Amino acid sequence: MNSTYELVRYELGLKGQVIDLQSHLWSPSVALNTAYFEWKYERNPYVAESLIYLVMHDGRAVGMRGFHGMQWEGGIPNQKSIVLYADDLVIAPEHRNRGLIPKIMAAAFEDLAKRRYRYAFNLSAGPITLLSSLATGWRSVGSMQPMRQRSWRVVLRSGRNRLITRLPMLSRKNSGILRLWPEKKRASLADIDAELVRHKLRDVPSIRFEDVPRCAAMAELVERIGGSRIRHVRNAEYFQWRFQNPLGQYRFLFWEKSRLEGYLVLQEYTSAYANKEVVNIVDWEATSVAVQAELLQAAMSLAADRNLIIWSVSLCQQLTAVLDKAGFKLEPQTQCGTQEPPVLLARPIRTEELDSDWLFAGQPLLDMKSWDVRMLYSMHG
């Protein structure tokens, strides 16, 4: 590495620079990036210090890798542990391809080895981060197997836009296409009003659509359903913090009779960089498959003009059958370097543990069957 680069740990005085640097990754908005940084690193309920590693050049931050805390659980009896989530890898464009990523990763793990954490996970690596991670000791547990339900309205919008971009500039303004086929504003989750909800959900009186999470009831339901696979500790504190993510906007479907029997969480991105045609189903829990199926139908009717995406890798066969019947299709595998589907990456913090058995709560980390993964556990959600 060129000697003009210096690797340092984040300190408060560098906050502004980190937020500027993340305009290459999170969003172009300083206000949104500041809110995201504060939510993720300063208000993280599991790790008090901001574990961020920076590459400095001429006094400016030009590269970053961040780690924030998440509490995971699994096994019988249940064991809980804080695991670091590696994220936010970015190098300023003019400093890319200079060997900075391996150096920043090595420096980060050397420093983190002095702390009490055993593993780091990553559920949102892009193609470049994936390759860099695999070269530095990370292992892939497997693909999240995203399934997508394509909305015919998105297909129409895309077709219209493709057609318009092919028209010569002058004729675009006068084109009959624009008059006959004006662009209909894509509805945001925030646009779903009470009247629409009443109309769409008139046949399913047990389902409520709400803007805010019912953190205590959701946590109680998760506890009641139980499980031994590796998953986030979804208690009330977790839900309270998690849905404050400013890069996501969330809406909630609840299925209840005398008490909560199921919920489904919809999320859309707020960053200008993000795909606005997508709504993610980031969490989907219920005491029965029938309740989950009703929640899914309600979600599809409320987000009918968007593409719905869910990670299916941890779902039981009955639920993938429900998705299949509803028109969800597995996203195709693509080329290695271009658009790898989201994968689950894991790595022991200490290099000397790379050749040992990787276990969490007695379960093999590299076996996808050990995991109960939802998009909510990742920064995709």
Partner 1 sequence: MQSLRDKIIAVLEVSNVELDGELNEDTPLIKSGKLDSLGLFNLALFVEREIGGKLDVTAFDLAKEWNTINDIVNFIAREQRSG
Residues near partner 1 (CB under 8 A): 96-103, 106, 127-132, 134-137, 140, 142-143, 333, 335-337, 340, 343
For the bound state, the minimum distance from the C-beta of residue 373 to partner 1, rounded and expressed in Å, comes to: 15
Buried b (16+ CB within 10 A) or exposed e, 317-340: eebbebbeeeebeebeeeeeeeeb
Beta carbon nearer to partner 1, 140 or 320: 140
Peptide bond into 77 cis (omega under 30): yes
Beta carbon nearer to partner 1, 103 or 157: 103
User: How many CA atoms, within 13 angstroms, populate the side-chain half-sphere of residue 29?
Assistant: 11
The structure tokens 């509805």 sit at: 187
Tokens of residue 282, six digits: 């980031």
Beta carbon nearer to partner 1, 89 or 361: 89
For the bound state, the minimum distance from the C-beta of residue 121 to partner 1, rounded and expressed in Å, comes to: 15
For the bound state, the minimum distance from the C-beta of residue 128 to partner 1, rounded and expressed in Å, comes to: 5
**Whole-number Å distance between alpha carbons of 305 and 309:** 13
For the bound state, the minimum distance from the C-beta of residue 354 to partner 1, rounded and expressed in Å, comes to: 9
Tokens of residue 376, six digits: 């909510």
Q: Is 95 exposed, middle or buried (CB count within 10 Å of its CB: 0-12, 13-18, 19+)?
A: middle
- DSSP letter for 102, please: H
Helices assigned H by DSSP within 191-269:
194-200, 215-225, 236-242
**Whole-number Å distance between alpha carbons of 220 and 57:** 49
Q: Are strands 278-286 and 307-311 parallel, antiparallel or unpaired?
A: parallel
For the bound state, the minimum distance from the C-beta of residue 315 to partner 1, rounded and expressed in Å, comes to: 21
For the bound state, the minimum distance from the C-beta of residue 120 to partner 1, rounded and expressed in Å, comes to: 16
For the bound state, the minimum distance from the C-beta of residue 130 to partner 1, rounded and expressed in Å, comes to: 7
56: helix, strand or coil: strand
**Whole-number Å distance between alpha carbons of 19 and 73:** 32
Contact criterion met (CB below 8 Å) for 298 and 207: yes
Beta carbon nearer to partner 1, 135 or 216: 135
Q: Are strands 307-311 and 207-210 parallel, antiparallel or unpaired?
A: unpaired
For the bound state, the minimum distance from the C-beta of residue 36 to partner 1, rounded and expressed in Å, comes to: 23
What are the residues facing 262 on neighbouring strands? 255, 286
Beta carbon nearer to partner 1, 134 or 154: 134
Beta carbon nearer to partner 1, 2 or 258: 2
Query: Angle at the Cα of 9 (from 103 to 11), degrees rounded to 5?
Result: 155
For the bound state, the minimum distance from the C-beta of residue 97 to partner 1, rounded and expressed in Å, comes to: 4
Of 114, 110, 7, 118, nearest in space to 64 by CA? 7
Amino acid at site 197: V
Beta carbon nearer to partner 1, 258 or 338: 338
Beta carbon nearer to partner 1, 97 or 165: 97
Beta carbon nearer to partner 1, 98 or 148: 98
Beta carbon nearer to partner 1, 143 or 270: 143
Query: Angle at the Cα of 7 (from 88 to 38), degrees rounded to 5?
Result: 40
For the bound state, the minimum distance from the C-beta of residue 96 to partner 1, rounded and expressed in Å, comes to: 7
Give Cβ neighbours of residue 270 (< 8 Å, ≥ 6 apart).
27, 32, 246, 247, 248, 249
